[in-house]
Chain A
Amino acid sequence: MISSISWKNVWRNKHRSLIVIIAVTLGTVAGVFVAGLMKGWSDQRVNAAIFTEASHLKVQNPEYLNNEEITLTIPKYENVIQYIDTMSGIKAHTSRSKVVAMAATSRGNTSVTLKGIQLEEEKLVSNVHEFIVEGAGSFFDVTHQNPIVISDKTAEQLRIKTFRITSELIDSLKSLQVPDTVLKVAEEYEGRRFYSKTKFRKAFEKELSTIDARKYGTLITELAKNYQMRSKIVFTFTDMNGEMTYQSYRVCGIYKTSNTGFDVQNAFVLHDDLAKVAGFGPNDYHEIGTLIQLDKTTEKDVQIALSTTFPETSVMTWRELAPDAAMLADIMDVYYFIIMGIIFLALAFGIVNTMLMAIMERIKELGMLMAIGMSKRKVFLMIMLETVFLTFTGSVIGMVLGALVLKITGHTGLDFSSVGEGFEAVGYAAIVYPNIEINFFFGIIVLVILVGVLSSIGPARRALKLKPIDALRTE
């Protein structure tokens, strides 16, 4: 009874109510979208932390964490690996050797960590092999000696990545029916090499008209990107005997993950190749990466089991290895309610204002209702329900729209590439696939009702303070 009166009251001043409803709708859409974006981001970061970088659990020599010396291999490796093999709930594991080395080409040098991997096992544990740049080689699918997979960033530092216009590029421009003026410039630039994207673009676009530059600049720059496969990289590092040694590798693939920090550091080679020069024995490995079956066991359990059996090793979960990702995973649920809370707080002021107006307009009517015997409790309930209906309608529409937007963007992904370098530098993907859990919507509903109730208190009290006799007399 009261609720139907309240619902009708909402629609007595359609314009005013609609404005509030639209405001709440937009607020909710924005909130849902931002939360979805954050969630998508953090999920991608956590996934990368586990499946690309750290794996669920990593066994290392505890000393290696302080000092990345080549001699600090896992103690009792044989026993550890035997034990892991017999454990239940282990999905896959792989052993790697790690060497901090200086890489040099004829034009550049940088320092990287060489990870000596076991190809088949590695593919089960880490998904780096899925991040090979299109057209830039493969993950060790080669026949040449000493193959190495380096990152796009390392290729840039070693100047293996260049920007150049080749005759094939000109041919493909022709087939794309690029105007002759652009083709002419392209032909002039054929054979010249640039080591940075911006330098190439600047030099090339200088020759073009502004319109052509805007139209074809990005396309040509993208096409001009070139990785010199089979490039030789000479590495210098200290071997197991503490002697400086040299070893050459040839590039067989380029990878690019969403975490530039990871990319800059890691280059992958085959353990057997590395062992030849570094002088590893059959049981010299620096880390064991392990993925577990989360439905059977937890990271914590496996960690405790391993570290009590082998106290001389360090067993760390991805939460310890990538604390930023762990923090994200934990804080996210709280975080998006904070966002929603802020949005609704702002909306609440608008709602209070609207409800106050609605009450001021209806002083006489409220006086009448009280005069014919409507209890204060019912008056309060009526006003409160009116507020809740107002906000609830808006937020339901908002949630539906927001979910729809998330569904679409979650499918296509949101491309932040133009500003993506900054994101990737701190480990976040440039292309985000927003998503949200269904629980979040229940949370919003609770929040909306709460906001409705809270913002009705003020206006309702105002109404309750009215004396029926005075209220009836107002015009």
Chain B
Amino acid sequence: MFNCRKLHRMTINQIIFILIISGFTLQSSAQDAREIIKKMDDKLQGDSNKSEMKMTIVRPKYTRTIAFKNWSLGRDYFMTYVTAPSKDKGMVSMKYKKEMWSYTPSINRMIKLPPSMMSQGWMGSDYTNDDLVKQSSIVNDYTHTIIGEEVIDGRECYNIQMVPNSDANVVWGKILTWVDKKKYINLKSEYYDEEEFLVRTELGIDVKSFDGRELPSVIEIIPAEEPENRTIITIDFIEFDVDIKENFFSQQNMKRVR
């Protein structure tokens, strides 16, 4: 009888152990692809942040560098203030929920960007206004699968394939992205069209620590068919969880920020 009970207890322990193990593995495999992308995305966004960046636009005939300051709160609010070159200094773009606003101090004009202008490159770069507004959907609009592991710049990475859901309003056919296994840093992304041709590559180079988070300090965007037209973004400084309220993102403040 005693033996019997002991045996019984052991079995229960075993079962619990197995459950814990299997539960853990179940959880981890479910987390894998989607969670990795989510963590990667959160890491870039944070709740609120303040940053300074430089963007270099490389074209066959000219190169142009724009420096700007950014403030962002969650995914709905975003403001950027151009500090250089002096010709464009003071230009402010603001994302307010689904709207995009622009202020040009030289003509003292505040406009809400109509859909027709959303397709234009932001400040002449390979980023469109639309990219800035939509950006947030990489977690919800795609189905993620880990398709391999690779080493990039000496870091072990998951290679994750993201295929847009059928109802998602996404222009890409698929995105391949390489994410650092430990720190969830996006080191490389390849964007493909629906015929599986590469359209553009984004590279995250020179990982540095910004306010305790490791991020690539240089992001390079290379269109596959016109590699001579690149856009390089250099992050000079980011501060996370700064004290910014929603009312910071107002039209009045667009004229005031420095």
Contact = CB atoms under 8 A, between A and B. Distances in A.
A123 interface: no
A231 B194 contact: yes
Nearest to B133: A244
Contact of A105 (B130, B168, B193): B193
Contact of A247 (B114, B130, B169, B191): B169
- B171, B192, B193 interface centre (most CB from chain A within 10 Å): B171
Q: What is the size category of the interface that chain A forms with chain B?
A: 20 to 34
B199 A106 contact: yes
B194 A106 contact: yes
Contact of A100 (B115, B169, B195): B115
A99 B35 CA distance: 38
B171 A104 contact: yes
B191 A106 contact: yes
A193 interface: yes
A28 B195 CA distance: 58
Contacts of B169: 234, 246-248
Nearest to B100: A244
Q: Please classify the interface of chain B as helix (H, G, I), strand (E, B), loop, or mixed, using the class held by over half of its residues.
A: loop
Q: Please classify the interface of chain A as helix (H, G, I), strand (E, B), loop, or mixed, using the class held by over half of its residues.
A: strand
Given A106-B171, A234-B170, A111 B115 contact: yes
A238 B118 CA distance: 12
Interface in A209-257: 228, 231-234, 236-238, 243-244, 246-248
B117 to A, nearest CB: 8
B6 interface: no
Contacts of A246: 134, 169
Interface in A61-115: 100-107, 109-111
Given A244-B99, A244-B115, A102 B199 contact: no
Contacts of A106: 171-173, 191-194, 199
Interface string B13-34: 0000000000000000000000
Nearest to B128: A109
A224 to B, nearest CB: 16
B256 interface: no
A102 B130 contact: yes
B193 to A, nearest CB: 4
Nearest to B113: A244
Contacts of A234: 169-171
Contacts of B191: 106
A107 B119 contact: no
B245 interface: no
A102 to B, nearest CB: 4
B115 A232 contact: no
A105 B171 CA distance: 5
Nearest to B167: A248
Nearest to B99: A244
B98 A102 contact: no
A246 B141 CA distance: 13
Contacts of B170: 234, 248
A62 B258 CA distance: 44
B197 interface: yes
A246 B135 CA distance: 13
B106 interface: no
Given A234-B170, A246-B169, A100 B116 contact: yes
B24 to A, nearest CB: 39
B197 A193 contact: yes
Contacts of B118: 102, 236, 244
B114 A110 contact: no
A101 B115 contact: yes
Interface in A160-198: 193
Interface in B182-196: 191-195
Given A234-B170, A246-B169, A102 B115 contact: yes
Contacts of B116: 100, 102, 111
A196 to B, nearest CB: 12
Given A105-B171, A232-B171, A244-B133, A110 B197 contact: no
Interface string A16-51: 000000000000000000000000000000000000
A237 B191 CA distance: 24
A247 to B, nearest CB: 7
A110 B119 contact: yes
Interface string B107-147: 00000001110110000000010100110000000000000
Interface of B: 98-99, 114-116, 118-119, 128, 130, 133-134, 167-173, 191-195, 197, 199
Q: Which 3 A-B pairs have the closest CB atoms?
A: A246-B169, A109-B119, A106-B193
15 contacts: A100-B115, A102-B116, A102-B119, A103-B119, A106-B192, A106-B193, A107-B193, A109-B128, A110-B119, A111-B116, A234-B171, A236-B115, A236-B119, A237-B115, A248-B170
